[in-house]
């Protein structure tokens, strides 16, 4: 659940402080309440999505000769979302390759 907070928190930091970039128009900052409500909804829907995926995984387990276990299905669903949650920092720092994450730097 902690990793799922990265994207919404990055949105809260990005939108009112950094602003939204619009091509040929520059950037503008939005009021603080918009990204906060958007982030809360995004976080809740992310957790609901993980739970729904766990239910789907748990329903498909007998197809692969396994035993149903909702706890194990939740672990698989959460672990499969972890890379996406880690990239959730993207709004604050849009160029991860400049930090060497992809193994190279921008000259």
| pLDDT per position as a tens digit, 33-91 | 888 888 888 889 988 999 999 999 999 999 988 899 999 999 999 988 888 777 776 65
Residue 106 forms part of a structural domain: no
Q: In whole angstroms, what is the distance from residue 103 CA to residue 24 CA?
A: 32
Does residue 78 lie within any of the structural domains? yes
Domain span at residue 7? 3-92
pTM above 0.75, yes or no: no
Question: CA–CA separation, 73 vs 59, rounded Å?
Answer: 9
Q: Where do we find the tokens 């909702």?
A: 70
5, 40 Cβ separation under 8 angstroms: no
Cβ-based neighbours of 57, under 8 Å, separated by 6 or more: 73, 76, 77
Cα separation of 96 and 56, whole Å? 33
Please indicate, yes or no, if residue 68 is contained in any of the structural domains. yes
In a domain, 11, yes or no: yes
Q: How many domains does the chain have?
A: 1
Tally Cβ neighbours within 10 Å of residue 89: 18
């Amino acid at each position: 659940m902690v990793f799922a907070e990265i994207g919404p928190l990055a949105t809260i930091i990005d939108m009112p402080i950094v602003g939204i970039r619009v091509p040929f128009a520059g950037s503008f900052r939005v009021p603080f309440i918009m990204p906060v409500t958007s982030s809360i909804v995004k976080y809740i829907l992310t957790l609901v999505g993980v739970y729904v995926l766990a239910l789907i995984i748990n329903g498909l387990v007998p197809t692969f000769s396994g035993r149903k276990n909702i706890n194990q299905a939740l672990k698989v669903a959460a672990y499969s979302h972890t890379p996406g949650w880690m990239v959730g920092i993207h709004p604050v720092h849009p160029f991860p390759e400049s930090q060497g994450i992809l193994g190279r730097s921008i000259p």
